[in-house]
Amino acid sequence: MTPERADAAGMQAGKEPIPASWDEARGPHLPDRLTAVPVLVWPFVALAVLLAVVQIRRHTYSPIDASVALSLGLTIARLLATTLLGAALFLRHPDAWSRLRPVAVGVTLLAIAEALRVLAPVADDLLGRPSGPSDGVPILTVSYLVGRTGAIVGIVGVASLWVGLKAARRTPDPAGTRAILAILLVVGLGILAIGYGRLISLGLFDGDAAVAVTNASELVIEAVQLVAWIAVASVLVAGSRVRERPAAAWLAGAFAALAISISPGQILSFLPSMDPTSGGYWLVIWSVSLVATGGAVLLLAAFLLGLPEPGTTARITTGES
């Protein structure tokens, strides 16, 4: 019996004919795994790759020894981890720009701050400006101003991150949260005050007025950075104490923010007379840099774990949400 007669017989018997099926050919296309990735992930990935290439090319024509390789490796690891925070956020929360706006703004500003920091050393060359002191104004070059702008943008990003994480919380702060924040701030600012007091006693603000203003601005920026990261850490600590979801992400983020707040300058300010050429000096540099880089990587891991899970609009203060 031919297929046409079989279809006719099936229709006479009250049955629908079974249509032939086959896979339609697809034209050239990207892999499905790539097309499934949210669009907002890719700008952060592209920026991270670009900045890593720029950072590596800066060392292309200089001799590479063990110390340079270690420094470059830590720098690139921290650079990638910080820049990819936005990619991790939008990968886990594609609607973060609408539901987690302050967090999305925060990670975006942190990526921009990293870009300004990396591009600052080459700004003078790109603009054809001298990279050293000129016209009697030391230090205040284009690269310096770009770098300081990046630091300020980063502070605003951290503040926005703090606002967003606090808003994403589903439960009120547990008892003792303000005490924890106060303790962290007192310890952090106390370390800065003692260290900077020693630097001031060594004549940090003596001499040229421009140098004094520059040094003062550096101290202020570093102090504000410390306070901002401690504020973020306090929110994450509070979230981990009340088991915000995902619990592992909130706990990892708390350790990460505290680690990131540490800088070599803070520790070395306690050792103003240490010889910069000694092994102990560089051991301090590598140790503190390793801790800070580990904090950046740990924060990226926290975002990959789903930090923060979008919370309700109103905090849960009673049995009703």
**pLDDT by residue, tens only, the chain of 321 residues:** 555 555 555 555 555 555 555 555 555 555 656 667 899 999 999 999 999 999 988 877 667 777 778 888 999 999 999 999 999 999 999 999 999 999 999 999 999 999 999 988 877 666 655 544 444 444 567 788 888 899 999 999 999 999 999 999 888 888 887 888 888 888 877 877 776 676 666 666 666 666 667 777 788 888 889 899 999 999 999 999 888 989 999 999 999 999 998 877 677 666 666 777 777 777 888 888 899 999 999 999 999 999 998 875 434 333 333
Residue 19: inside a domain:
no
The interaxial angle of helices 41-57 and 101-127, nearest 10 deg, is: 30
Distance (Å) of CA 33 to CA 24, 36, 37, 46, 92: 20, 5, 7, 17, 14
pLDDT tens string 162-211: 999 999 988 888 888 788 888 888 887 787 777 667 666 666 666 666 66
User: Whole-angstrom Cα distance, residue 162 to residue 169?
Assistant: 11
pLDDT of residue 232: 94
User: Whole-angstrom Cα distance, residue 87 to residue 144?
Assistant: 28
Residue 59: inside a domain:
yes
Residue 5: inside a domain:
no
Domain region containing 250:
38-304
Residue 9: inside a domain:
no
Residue 33: inside a domain:
no
> Please, what sign has the CA dihedral across residues 208, 120, 296, 104?
positive
pLDDT of residue 223: 85
- Backbone φ and ψ for 137, nearest 5 degrees, come out as -110, 100
pLDDT tens string 278-308: 777 778 888 888 999 999 999 999 999 999 9
The pTM of the whole model exceeds 0.85: no
**In total, how many domains does the chain have?**
1
Residue 6: inside a domain:
no
pLDDT of residue 133: 46
Residue 25: inside a domain:
no
User: Whole-angstrom Cα distance, residue 305 to residue 93?
Assistant: 11
Residue 15: inside a domain:
no
pLDDT of residue 208: 67
User: Whole-angstrom Cα distance, residue 104 to residue 91?
Assistant: 12
- Half-sphere CA count of 120, side-chain side, radius 13 A: 19
